[in-house]
């Protein structure tokens, strides 16, 4: 495994768009030194994406996708986040797991396949940008790009290398948006509290798939931002860094020092029950009406995750009905919608990847993933990668297990060497 290559990628802070081209230069050099044809494609917003090809003179093509952008490092790291630090079987650094580890695993696999000349399927590796902010200028752009009326990319199956080292056949859908309402501080706090309670209703909806922990995947609802002002509350704002849930809540009551309320970090892609920062702050906010019950307004962001097989339409209608039942004046704005996707466990592609990995089970993810872009094109896709449940992705001291990088690379090699046309 080329850890030196990983170190070079980690050293570049690709949470900053200005560094995208610098990172791409390193990957282009890697492809060239490996004798692999590579094409650079810039989105309409001038963001670079890479296609690396392995031609096996085969009838079918497997698409591999990984992303090179990362979320900001944040504070509190034991070691410099943009300097790869190895200790035992772990390599630490921002993006080491999510998803630059996925990039080097894929490169390693196609390098070995080329060297051995053993692949029975053509392979195209797509290294894309902007996954952390929706993927529209990354994988979404590549999968929609056409030349002379035809898609530039065609594939018979796809692996999104941005997950754990298991066969994930389902990814959740996502409905993101804002709720705005006005009223007295008491009324607004009551509305906020009841909207948070909606999570209990969502968790009754269970997927037929299991998470990597073995538990069934529940539907999920999270409040990730609060902007509340009324009477005695001079400043109240909560934000979320990237898609860390629940994020943080900052509150200032007149005459008092600003108070920072932190929730425990937890990535949105996993069904963990982390304490919600907004919910944690409610007892403090409820003291405000004792000082003033003035009129105010409330705005907060919601993040509703559907199970992989759940239809977005009914899920959204049910939530809107719930909110309107709490406040007829509340305004709901939808900012993002992505239908979940699921591949039947009996699909032959699932069987081939299970055999290559040596695992008999299939799993699902609570996270909404870039697999949606493959699903939109009707390409059967699976999520699989080197991100373990405890890799601290999007948090401090992110790391990747070296053995997981090797597992992913080796599994892809075996899959391609034993490929049977779908």
- pLDDT band (50, 70, 90) for residue 117: very high
Calpha distance 322→215 (Å, rounded) = 27
Give residue 416's pLDDT.
98
> How does the average pLDDT of the chain come out, rounded?
87
Q: Walk me through the domains of the chain, giving residue ranges and CATH numbers.
A: 3-170+341-417 (3.40.630.10), 173-338 (no CATH)
pLDDT digits (tens, 9 = 90+) for 363-373: 998 788 999 99
Calpha distance 50→336 (Å, rounded) = 26
**Quick check: 274 and 246 in contact, CB under 8 A?**
yes
Higher per-residue confidence, 336 vs 419: 419
Give residue 244's pLDDT.
40
- pLDDT band (50, 70, 90) for residue 262: low
Calpha distance 8→394 (Å, rounded) = 19
Residues of the chain above pLDDT 90, percent: 64
- pLDDT band (50, 70, 90) for residue 310: very high
| Distance between first and last Cα of the chain | 30
Mean pLDDT computed over 259-272: 49
Query: Model pTM?
Result: 0.86
Give residue 168's pLDDT.
96
pLDDT digits (tens, 9 = 90+) for 212-229: 778 898 888 877 666 665
**Looking at the predicted structure, is the pLDDT value of residue 274 above 60?**
no
Mean pLDDT computed over 368-379: 93
For helices 402-417 and 100-116, the axis angle rounded to 10 degrees is 40
Mean pLDDT computed over 135-155: 96
Calpha distance 122→120 (Å, rounded) = 7
């Amino acid at each position: 495994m080329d850890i030196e290559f990983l170190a070079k990628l980690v050293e570049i802070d690709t949470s900053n768009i200005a560094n995208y081209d610098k990172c791409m230069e390193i990957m282009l050099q890697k492809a060239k030194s490996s004798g692999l044809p590579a094409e650079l494609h810039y989105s309409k917003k001038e963001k670079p994406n890479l296609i690396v090809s392995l031609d096996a003179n085969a009838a079918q093509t497997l698409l591999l996708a990984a992303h090179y952008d990362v979320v900001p490092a944040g504070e509190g790291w034991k070691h410099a986040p943009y300097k790869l630090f190895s200790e035992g079987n772990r390599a630490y650094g921002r993006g080491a797991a999510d998803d630059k580890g996925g990039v080097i695993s894929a490169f390693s696999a196609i390098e070995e396949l080329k060297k051995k000349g053993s692949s029975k399927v053509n392979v195209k590796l797509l290294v894309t940008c902007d996954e952390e902010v929706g993927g529209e200028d990354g994988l979404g752009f590549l999968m929609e790009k056409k030349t002379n009326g035809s898609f530039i990319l065609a594939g018979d199956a796809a692996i999104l290398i941005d997950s754990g080292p298991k066969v994930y056949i389902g990814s959740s859908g996502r409905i993101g948006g804002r709720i705005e309402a006005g009223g007295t501080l008491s009324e607004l706090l009551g509305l906020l509290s009841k909207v948070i309670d909606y999570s209990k209703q969502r968790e009754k909806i269970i997927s037929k798939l299991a998470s990597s922990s073995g538990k069934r995947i529940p539907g999920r609802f999270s409040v990730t931002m609060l902007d509340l002002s009324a009477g005695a509350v001079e400043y109240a704002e909560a934000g979320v860094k990237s898609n860390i849930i629940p994020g943080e809540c900052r509150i200032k009551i007149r005459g008092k020092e600003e108070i920072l309320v932190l929730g425990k970090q937890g990535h949105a892609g996993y069904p963990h029950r982390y304490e919600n920062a907004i919910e944690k702050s409610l007892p403090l906010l409820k003291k405000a009406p004792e000082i003033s019950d003035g009129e105010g307004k409330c705005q907060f962001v919601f993040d509703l995750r559907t199970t992989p097989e759940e239809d977005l339409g009914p899920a959204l209608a049910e939530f809107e009905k719930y909110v309107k039942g709490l406040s007829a004046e509340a305004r709901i704005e939808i900012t993002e919608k992505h239908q979940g996707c699921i591949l039947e466990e009996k699909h032959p592609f699932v069987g081939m990847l299970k055999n290559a990995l040596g695992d008999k089970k299939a799993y699902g993810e609570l996270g909404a993933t870039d697999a949606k872009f493959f699903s939109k094109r009707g390409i059967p896709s699976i999520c699989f990668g080197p991100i373990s449940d405890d890799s601290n992705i999007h948090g401090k001291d992110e790391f990747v297990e070296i053995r997981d990088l090797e597992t992913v690379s080796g599994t892809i090699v075996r899959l391609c060497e034993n490929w049977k046309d779908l």
